[in-house]
Amino acid sequence: MTFGDKRADIARTEGGPFGSLQREIDRVFDDFSRNWPALGGGGLTPRMDVTERDGTIEIAAELPGLEEKDVEVSVVDNILTVKGEKKAERTEEEGARKLVERSYGAFARTIELPPGIKAEDIKASLSKGVLTVTLPKPVAAAPQAKKIEVKAG
């Protein structure tokens, strides 16, 4: 169960002597994790979709409010990393007493790629708050089968 994951509550039995204690513990962790994005309270962890198409793999990440200069995409040892930073924005108006605050901070998300992906073939673009990373699917190698001769020791 991840912090704040309400779907995990479906399987739990609500009855019994510890039901109310469990609900209270869940509430405390939910409240706590809202202020700590690294613990899964939403925040800056970008949501991603991975789609396999004819010959390509497409990864789409929601990055609202970010521009190309705010995002870095890299590949090291078949690990794709998307990281960036959303700068703090704070506006305060005196007349109507308007206060606007948005979440900010650094984030990083990694995905293990299948073996055989060439880093130079990966393309990334950012449009309307969605980062799209496209890479060609690696050609599946035919399984190698070989009979090994067993010799007397």
Q: What is the DSSP letter of 20?
A: H
Q: Which helix (H) or strand (E) holds 123?
A: strand 123-127
Of the chain, the percentage scoring pLDDT greater than 70 comes to 66
Beta bridge partners of 61: 48, 131
Q: Which residue did the predictor score with more confidence, 113 or 97? A: 113
Within 10 Å of residue 97's Cβ, how many Cβ atoms? 7
Q: Which domains are seen in the chain, by residue range?
A: 1-43 (no CATH), 44-136 (2.60.40.790)
- Write down the pLDDT at residue 9: 43
Closest by Cα among 102, 78, 82 to 90: 102
Give the global pTM. 0.59
Whole-angstrom Cα distance, residue 97 to residue 153? 88
Q: Convert the pLDDT of each residue in 29-73 to its tens digit.
A: 666 655 554 444 445 688 899 999 888 999 999 998 889 999 999
Q: Which residue did the predictor score with more confidence, 112 or 87? A: 112
Give the distance between the most distant pair of CA atoms in the chain: 93
